[in-house]
Amino acid sequence: MTPVRDEALALLNRLGVPPSAFAAGGLPARSPITGEVVGHVRAHTVEEARAAVGRAHEAFTAWRRVPAPRRGEFVRLLGEELRAAKPDLGRLVTLEAGKILSEGLGEVQEMIDICDYAVGLSRQLFGLTIATERPDHRMMETWHPLGVCGVVSAFNFPVAVWSWNAALAFVCGDPVVWKPSEKTPLTALAVGAIVERAAARFGGVPEGLHEVLIGGREIGEALVEDPRVPLVSATGSTAMGRQVAPRLAARFARAILELGGNNAAIVAPSADLDLALRGIAFAAMGTAGQRCTTLRRLFVHESVHDALIPKLRKVWTSVKIGDPREQGVLVGPLIDRAAFDAMERALDEARAAGGVVTGGGRVDLGTDGVYVNPALVEMPAHAGPMLRETFAPILYVVRYAAFEDAVAMQNAVGAGLSSSLFTLDMREAERFVSCEGSDCGIANVNIGPSGAEIGGAFGGEKETGGGREAGSDAWKAYMRRATNTLNYGTALPLAQGVTFDIGD
């Protein structure tokens, strides 16, 4: 198999990333597959970040005047470029984020899908016509471009989350300034090159419509503090969100926050156990447990517990772990050693609380990549480390007797991103998705908590931040609303029966 560094550099060359993006002494870009440094990427200064925001702000004054369907044409061309680049960009995602190849390619497909969605949306940015109590008047609402959209993304979806924001922002009339994770700068540079190709084909794209800023926390802070950035979409930990949200609120900017997700699934007495097994395995072990929608807590009814748990143990001890480029591998590496240390601390705490652990521990593949056995932890109660999110492949299992107790345990954590129920009981399913059921932004039945499609709004409640991205009416966050009243008569009646006669 081609050495990681050689393959990554070849992909970057084919994707059009210029040599000027690299600099001696720059930010090291590592592959979690082997732990080796692929190259050193030139990092931006805070002053350069502010200059980029300035260019984006200037681009806004021109881009907002381009008709929305014409802006959609730019995104259509972007989708075409992504289709052409899918094999290379998907493989680069695998090399830089450690996902298995099908997940890397799937992430790029998600980018293509949101572009298709946004192209259609560009002809549907509609407002309402509203009944008015005044004769010879018309009341309506219009939607206008908002301004520069700052995007701060995380390593686990290094390109898809950008696309959820960028595709919508572009058709809504907003430039995008993107600060990717410092752990995954290479894929961001590749996407930047792809956007440039789409812009060249489109013609007339203002300079600064899309800016990529490589760097650490100080670059993200520059976006959060800049008054020329009315919207920041930030994906990361709840701790990060606690810092970002008040700083944006202090200057009355908007925040789209996609934060932690301590997600749960319930396996009811009537569940199709084979279906549940497949759903649980992918949701808990896919991306090595490093998705915000990863399944971390499992509540199994006591009547099916003894039938399901042995099957789970068998899967957990037989799943293939290794280089994510290899055929048949289902679990690739953790992003770094810090993720492994957090996993070990959580498992130690679980054992101390009476948990019985199957799996866990590091797998030595002869490289500096951090590979682990997924851990299945049977807990005596819903307590201890399972009350918080650990970004690693750990699945905690607890028995339950009453459906109401399972729902209560599921909801009894700070995060509120995603949830699922496996049942063939229609009443249970309806209760789960009702106002008395799951308190999460995503509530699924007979699928796992992962794999939200772009047609629906993605995001969660409580400590997940309340943000929504991708489908449904998430586009409204990228625009400002104006309510308009037009008087086409000769009189000036006032609402609510108010009179104010100043005479002739």
Catalytic residues: 258, 292
- Name the residue among 176, 173, 121, 175 with its Cα closest to residue 153: 176
Answer whether 407's CB lies under 8 Å from 382's CB.
no
Q: State the Cα–Cα distance between residues 394 and 346, nearest whole angstrom.
A: 9
Handedness of CA 44, 64, 259, 471 (dihedral sign): negative
Answer whether 78's CB lies under 8 Å from 93's CB.
no
Q: State the Cα–Cα distance between residues 161 and 302, nearest whole angstrom.
A: 38
Answer whether 455's CB lies under 8 Å from 471's CB.
yes
Which amino acid is it at 310? Answer: P
Q: Does an H or E element contain 168, and which?
A: helix 160-172
- Name the residue among 248, 186, 278, 261 with its Cα closest to residue 443: 261
What is the 8-class DSSP label of residue 321? B
> Can you give the three-state secondary structure of 193-222, one letter per residue?
HHHHHHHHHHCCCCCCCEEECCCCHHHHHH
Answer whether 421's CB lies under 8 Å from 428's CB.
yes
Phi, psi of 166 (to 5 degrees): -65, -45
Q: Is 447 exposed, middle or buried (0-12, 13-18, 19+ CB in 10 A)?
A: middle
